[in-house]
Structure 1
Amino acid sequence: MEFLVATGIGWVAACGIYLLLRGRTFAVVLGLSLISYAVNVFIFVMGRLWTNAPPILISDALVADPLPQALVLTAIVIGFATTGFVIELALRSHHESHSDHVDGHEPAHTGSTAGAPRQKETA
């Protein structure tokens, strides 16, 4: 089960990094969200899942650690606010530059010239 969870976290983080490296702002926003989800699950998993363990020390029994759950809850709230802010920045950038690319410039579209005949150069 640990291997499955670790693999899932790795795949989500890898997909997030891939989306961060794309040239479109929407993909960058999705990549940031996926990375934050992967980090949240990682923090939550590091706290271990304890059954029948109280979060408060009452006796010498096994005690669950509530800190990872509190950290993840705080990270979810901060991540939601940050995602909203980044979406607003992306929309403003699109409005001002009329482009969805992160640098504000559309790449030059060069069509396929594999079957086109060459033209002679004139001097």
Structure 2
Amino acid sequence: MEMIVASAIGVLTASGIYLILRLRAFPVILGMAMLSYAVNVFLFATGRLAVNAPPILKKYADLAYSDPLPQALVLTAIVISFGMTAVLVMIALGAYLEADNDKIDMTEDAPENASEQKGRGA
């Protein structure tokens, strides 16, 4: 089971990094969301992967329990990442409506901007 979780973390991290390296706003936001999911799964896995185990250690229970601290951290991280993703989507949507494209690197638009700059005398 640890191998499945580790490979899921690796796939989420690799695809998140690939999407962050794109030059469009929405794939970058999706890549950041995937990286946050990878971190959440990693944090959840640090609390011991135990199936059907209680999250609290009882006095007379056996040693099979899952740590509740990583579960609480993951719940908090999910809420924060959802809010930040919503804010980033709104910023990217505003930038898309303003510039009519969602490119992050605007240096490729230099010929269009250069013709506008020449008309202004700059």
Say whether the fold is shared (TM-score over 0.5).
yes
Q: Which letter maps to 2:26?
A: F
CA RMSD of aligned residues (A): 2.0
Return the letter of the residue paired with 2:23. G
**Equivalent pairs: percent with the same residue?**
56
In the TM superposition, 1:53-92 aligns within 5 A as 53-61=53-61, 62=63, 63-92=65-94
Residues in 2 aligned to 1:98 and 1:104: alpha-carbon distance in whole angstroms: 12
Asked whether 1:19 is paired with 2:13, we answer no
Please say which of residues 55-64 and 33-42 is displaced more in the overlay: 55-64
Counterparts in 2 of 1:54 and 1:11: CA distance versus 1, 3 Å = closer
Count of equivalent residues: 108
The structure-2 alpha-carbon separation of the partners of 1:106 and 1:98, relative to structure 1 and needing over 3 Å to count, comes to: farther
Structure having the larger proportion of residues in helix: 2
**SS of equivalent to 1:40:** helix
What is the rounded CA distance, in whole Å, between the counterparts of 1:13 and 1:103 in structure 2? 23
Query: TM-score scaled to structure 1, two decimals?
Result: 0.77
Gaps of 5+ in 1: 109-123
- C-alpha deviation, 1:51, in angstroms: 4.4
Where do 4+ consecutive residues of structure 1 move more than 2 Å?
A: 49-58, 60-64, 103-108
5+ residue gaps in structure 2? 111-122
CA contact 2:50–2:66 (8 Å) conserved in 1: yes
71-80 vs 51-60, greater mean Cα deviation: 51-60
Which residue pairs with 1:6 in the alignment?
6
Structure-2-length-normalised TM-score? 0.77
